Structure 1
C-alpha cells in the first residue's frame, strides 16, 4: 500500500492523468486528440460505462467503473479503477474486480461503503474494511448480488468467498445495488433495481440481507428498464431532512435514450414515500446517465457528490473515438432548493472546479460579438443573463461546424442544437430541449463547461442542467453572439 500511495502522491497537484498524457500519445491519427476531455475521467483505452463503488477514504476519491479491457465496445465487463485527490486530476489504476467467465460471471454495477464499525467482521489490521456490493451476471443472464472486500483502503480487492449474498428471485433485470448506513435504525440498507421498480433490503453485517419491500410500480417514468438507483438524505433550505432517490432509465429519457429521474420524499429505514407525483429529471441532456454518489464524505461537510456516465445507449457503442469509448461527467454537488414552494434537486459542478480555474478574459456579450476560445484547455464560461428574454450563442469549430445554444425566458426553455456539430450519426445529431424548471431572476447565470468532446450547461447553479457530448472535426475556437434581446450580459471565461 505504501508504494501505491507514493505513486499517487502527485495526483491533484498538477500531475497529468492517464487521460491527458499517456492516452493522448496512444491515439492514432484517425482519432482527433481534442475529443479527449482533460478534466473529466476517461480510460486510456477500451470501453467504459457506469460509475461504480465510489468511496472516499484517507484523502483519496476512488472511482470504479464498468470496463471492458478487451475492446472499445460493451463486452466482458470488469470493474476498472481510477483515483483522484481533487476530483479533476485522475490516475487510472489496474482492474479492481475481474469477471469470472466460468463462474458467477461479469461484474456489473454497484456501490461501496466504509464499514467504520466493522459490522461485517472483515477488518484486518487498523484500516476499516471497505465493502463493495455489486451484481454478478452469468452466461445465462442470471443476475445475483455479491460482495468484495478491501482491507487496505480501497486499493486491492478480494471477492467474498460465500457469494452471492442475495440470489435471484426470478427477475430478469435484478441489479445495481447501492448500500448506505441508516443511522437511526443502525442497519445497512440496500436499494436495488428490479425491473420496473426498486427493492429495499436491510442487514446488520452486509452479508445477510432481509427484503423490506419495493417502490416505483406506479411512480415515475416507465419508458424503459430502471437501473442504478441511489438513496440518500439532504437538508432542505430550512434545515429539515428529506430523502432523495435517483433512478436511471433506458430508454425513456426526455430527449431520447438514457436519462436519470429523481424522487424527493421520506424514508424511515424500510419504506420510501415520495412527496410529489410528477416525473422529475436530474439532467435534461442526452449524456448524463447512471449517476451515483460517493460514500465516505459524511465527515467532510456531509457533501453529496455525484458523477455520471457521459454517454447515451442510443449511440455509446458507435461514437467515433474508437480507441476509447466513454467518459464521466464533472463531479457534481447535489442540493435541495425551493422554487414557487416546490422542493427540487439541483446539481452543480463541485467547488474544486472554481478553485482550479484561471481567468482568461471577460467583457460584455453584445449582438455580433465574437470571443476567441483558447485551445488546449478545459473552459468554464459564466454569463450574467439576469431575467433577459432571449440569449442565442453559437460555438464554432472549423468550417461550418457549430453548436447553437439558446436560453429563452419567454419560452421557458434551454436549447442545445448539435445537428451541425460534426459527427452526427446514430441519432446524436439532434436538438436537445430542457424546460426551465425554475424561475429566472435578475441574478440568473448561464454557465457552460467545455472540455474536449463534453459540454455541460448549468442555469443558476444547476437548477436546470443539460449535458451533451459532441465530436467536431476541430476544437471549438469561437463564440459568437447571435441574439441578446433586452440585455448586454457580462461574461467571464476561465480555463481549468
Structure 2
C-alpha cells in the first residue's frame, strides 16, 4: 500500500505545482501596468517589433529584446507566436548577439521556393534579415559598424541558424546603415531590400537573399529631415485596379510635434526605382513619438 500512496502524493504535488505556476503566470500577465491588448514579454526590455511573418496558421512576431535588464542593452531578437494576433505565446529567444555584433532591427520572409538554397529535405526556410551592430567598431570611431546578415529556421521559427557567410551586405562606410525590410517582387523575380541609410533610403535586390546589388536611392532632399531616417517599409496597395507603392519612413527625432514619427510617400516602383507622385511631406501620425 505504500507505493500507491506515494504515487498519489506525487501526483498531488505535480498538480499543485502546475496550478501554482499557472496562477503565477496569470498574475504576471495581469500586472497593474502591463498592456493587455499589446504583446509584452514576461520580463525585461523590449522595443521595435521585427520580422512579422505568417506561416501554416501561425503568426510570428520577433522583437528587439534585452533579457538581462529593464533598460536598453545588447539587443537580441525575442520571439512570440499567435493564432489570432490577440493572444500571444512567448517563445524562446530567436537570435543572440555574436562576434559580428548585437542583433538590431530587420524583417523575416518565408522562402517558399528555396531561392536561398538554405532549405533541406523538402523543408523551406524562414529567413530572418537583420542588422548586425558592432559596438566595438563603433567605439573605435569607424563608420562601418552596421551591416546586414541573415539567419534561417527549418522548424517554423523554433530554432535558428546564422548563415556562415554573414554579413551578406557589407557597409560601404555609412553611419546608420540599418533596418532591412525585405519582400519578394514577382515582376522582377528578385528579393527587394528597403534599407535606411542615414538621410535616405537605399534599395537593394537579390535573387537568393545572400547576394545583394544596389538598385537605387530615394529621399536625399525629399521629405522631413529633422532626424535620422529609420525602420522603412515598402509595399503595394491597389485602388480602382491600379497598383501603387507606399514607402514608410520613420524619423527620429523630427516629427511634427517633436520626437519620432512616421512619414509616407505614394508612388510607382518598378523593382529598381521608387518614383513618388508627390514630394510633399505626409505623416502617418501627428503625435509625439508615434502616438
Task: Give the TM-score taking structure 1 as reference length.
Answer: 0.51
- Determine if the alignment matches structure 1 residue 241 to structure 2 residue 243: yes
**Partner residue in 2 for 1:195:** 198
- Determine if the alignment matches structure 1 residue 181 to structure 2 residue 184: yes
Of 95, 115, 121, 1:119 maps to 115
Of 49, 52, 64, 1:51 maps to 49
Of 72, 89, 108, 1:91 maps to 89
State the 1:206 CA deviation.
0.7
- Determine if the alignment matches structure 1 residue 158 to structure 2 residue 154: no
Instruction: Give the SS at the match of 1:140.
Output: helix
Q: How big is each residue's C-alpha offset from its partner over 1:124-160, in whole Å with a ceiling of 9 and x where there is no partner?
A: 1333211111000112230010000011122211100
Q: From the superposition, tell whether residues 26 and 91 of structure 1 become closer, same or farther in structure 2 (CA, over 3 Å).
A: closer
Cα distance in structure 2, aligned partners of 1:53 and 1:282: 21
Alignment of 1:60-459 (within 5 A): 60-100=58-98, 103-138=99-134, 139-141=136-138, 142-236=145-239, 238-288=240-290
Q: From the superposition, tell whether residues 212 and 23 of structure 1 become closer, same or farther in structure 2 (CA, over 3 Å).
A: farther
Alignment length (residue pairs) = 263
Cα distance in structure 2, aligned partners of 1:287 and 1:39: 19
State the 1:21 CA deviation.
6.9
Runs of 4+, deviation exceeding 4 Å: none
Instruction: Give the SS at the match of 1:94.
Output: coil
Q: From the superposition, tell whether residues 70 and 204 of structure 1 become closer, same or farther in structure 2 (CA, over 3 Å).
A: same
Cα distance in structure 2, aligned partners of 1:23 and 1:185: 49
Cα distance in structure 1, aligned partners of 2:285 and 2:42: 27
Q: From the superposition, tell whether residues 240 and 95 of structure 1 become closer, same or farther in structure 2 (CA, over 3 Å).
A: same
State the 1:262 CA deviation.
0.8
Answer whether contact 1:24 1:36 (CA < 8 A) is retained. Answer: no
Unaligned runs of 5+ in 1: 1-19, 28-32, 289-466, 468-496
Report the structure, 1 or 2, having the larger helix content. Answer: 2
Q: From the superposition, tell whether residues 132 and 91 of structure 1 become closer, same or farther in structure 2 (CA, over 3 Å).
A: same
State the 1:122 CA deviation.
0.8
Instruction: Give the SS at the match of 1:22.
Output: helix
Cα distance in structure 1, aligned partners of 2:173 and 2:86: 41
State the 1:25 CA deviation.
3.0
Instruction: Give the SS at the match of 2:28.
Output: helix
Cα distance in structure 2, aligned partners of 1:54 and 1:202: 20
**Partner residue in 2 for 1:37:** 35
**Partner residue in 1 for 2:19:** none
Cα distance in structure 2, aligned partners of 1:83 and 1:219: 37
Cα distance in structure 1, aligned partners of 2:111 and 2:150: 13
Instruction: Give the SS at the match of 1:162.
Output: coil
RMSD: 1.8
Q: Which stretch shifts more, 120-129 or 196-205?
A: 120-129
Answer whether contact 1:23 1:45 (CA < 8 A) is retained. Answer: no
Answer whether contact 1:111 1:178 (CA < 8 A) is retained. Answer: yes
Unaligned runs of 5+ in 2: 1-22, 139-144
Answer whether contact 2:92 2:158 (CA < 8 A) is retained. Answer: no
Answer whether contact 1:69 1:76 (CA < 8 A) is retained. Answer: no
